[in-house]
Amino acid sequence: MLYEMPALDPADLRVLDELSEMRAELRAHLRSKPRWEGQLRRSLFAAAIQGSNTIENITISNSDARALVEHAPMSAEAGERTQQAVIGYRDAMTYVQQTPMMGFFDYSETLLSALHFMITKYQPEKWPGRYRAGGIYVTSADPLEPAFTGPDPDSVPGLMGELVDWLHGGDLDAPAYARAAMAHLNLVGIHPWRDGNGRTARALHTLVLARVGEVAPEFSSIEEWLGEQVNTVQYYEALRSVQRGSFQPEHDAHPWLRFVFTAHHRQAQRVRRRYDWTVRLWNDLALLADEKGLAERTVSALYAAAVGEVRRTTYQQDESLSRDQAIRDIQALTRVGLLAPRGNATTRVYVLDGAATDIAEAAAAAVRGHGRDPYANA
């Protein structure tokens, strides 16, 4: 038996309608394939990886998260074990991003265990991809009082088979966000593996949305929002409110759905602000580059630096340049005082400088605002 899909109330439907409107607006904006789309996708992907791993106390800096998605070297601050963990999660989520284009895609226990293997392969002692053979619990502040105890290991194969059957044909008339939330809740409740259950459940959540074409996985993931400390606390509270210490699928999962809908709505608000910031920033940086007599393509480097920093290799790839062309452009931006170098050799990056910094700050000030709780007036 799995947690059942709760009935949605009028407030839920209103929140979902608002969410659909924001997603439709974003789809319309992206239809023209703006030049900055790839960079915005990468920044959101980096934030999602960083957020989901932060929940598990696997932390990397913003800079290292960007290096991760750009397949560039991370800093020495990210230890070997941490790097292996986030690389595995990046690979699993990259697979998730590809699934909408897979005509042969099929949900299976093998698929879920393959995602788990990618996420935890750096921990062979945790049996990557293999179901646990013993009991399991999630610790709390009191080591003698677990926050959650998983179901008996003998029941795991049957529950996983039931989950896969549901993914194929269960509640297909329910909103995609509700199905993703229930897949997440049930997988993390079954807790089939010795470690990595939360990360795999969050990857499945995004996979369910990706499979129905809910914009793109980078724009629909809630992991960035969940990874913020105050939201992580609420995440665990939402799970506890339904689980009550163990896998009890007879309980009402509606509080969990409401939390997930809120998370998606808040993240969609964040993405909309990032879109507004990106458009304003890109246009203003284009004017600046023109004033300085720089090639139009250099706006790509300036925008990347405004997001965090730009690497010569990433700029070269983004703009399909030769190595020498990319070097000349970066040197030109540095000479006119719009970029400044940081680091050495393989870790060399460039950050915004001078007038470009002022433009980025003005763009942020123009769109900055507080997020709102979509259920506040329910």
Segment (H or E) for 273: helix 254-291
Q: pTM for this one?
A: 0.93
Give 285-335 pLDDT, tens digit per residue: 999 999 999 999 999 999 999 999 999 999 999 999 999 999 999 999 999
Confidence label for 215 from pLDDT (cuts 50, 70 and 90): low
Give 343-377 pLDDT, tens digit per residue: 877 778 999 999 999 999 999 999 998 989 999 97
The DSSP symbol for 35 reads T
Long-range contacts of 284-289 (CB under 8 A, 24+ apart): 284/359, 284/362, 284/363, 285/356, 285/359, 288/338, 288/355, 288/356, 288/359
The DSSP symbol for 230 reads H
Structural domains present in the chain = 10-271 (1.10.3290.10), 277-367 (1.10.10.10)
Give 73-95 pLDDT, tens digit per residue: 998 889 999 999 999 999 999 99
Segment (H or E) for 38: helix 37-55
Question: What pLDDT is recorded for position 85?
Answer: 95
Does the pLDDT at position 200 exceed 90? yes
Does the pLDDT at position 218 exceed 70? yes
Out of 214-218, 247-251, 346-350, 373-377, which region has the weakest mean confidence (pLDDT)?
Answer: 214-218
DSSP string, 166-227: HHHHTTTTS-HHHHHHHHHHHHHHH--SSS-HHHHHHHHHHHHHHHTT-S-HHHH--HHHHT
Does the pLDDT at position 102 exceed 70? yes
User: CB atoms < 10 A from the CB of 18, how many?
Assistant: 15
Angstrom distance (rounded) from CA 235 to CA 213: 25
Which residues, other chains included, contact 291 with Cβ-Cβ below 8 Å and sequence gap of 6+? none
Give 134-176 pLDDT, tens digit per residue: 999 887 777 767 889 999 999 999 999 999 999 999 999 999 9
Question: What pLDDT is recorded for position 32?
Answer: 86
Mean pLDDT across 101-127: 96
Question: What pLDDT is recorded for position 146?
Answer: 84
Mean pLDDT across 231-251: 94
Say if CB 288 and CB 355 are below 8 A apart.
yes
Give 37-56 pLDDT, tens digit per residue: 999 999 999 999 999 999 99
Phi-psi region of 244 (alpha: psi -120 to 50; beta: other; left: phi over 0): left
Question: What pLDDT is recorded for position 212?
Answer: 87
Confidence label for 282 from pLDDT (cuts 50, 70 and 90): very high
Mean pLDDT across 204-228: 87
Question: What pLDDT is recorded for position 214?
Answer: 65
Question: What pLDDT is recorded for position 295?
Answer: 95
Angstrom distance (rounded) from CA 309 to CA 298: 14
Between 378 and 23, residue with greater pLDDT: 23
Say if CB 225 and CB 263 are below 8 A apart.
yes
Does the pLDDT at position 233 exceed 90? yes
Question: What pLDDT is recorded for position 378?
Answer: 56
Instruction: Return mean pLDDT, the chain.
Output: 93
Say if CB 89 and CB 49 are below 8 A apart.
yes
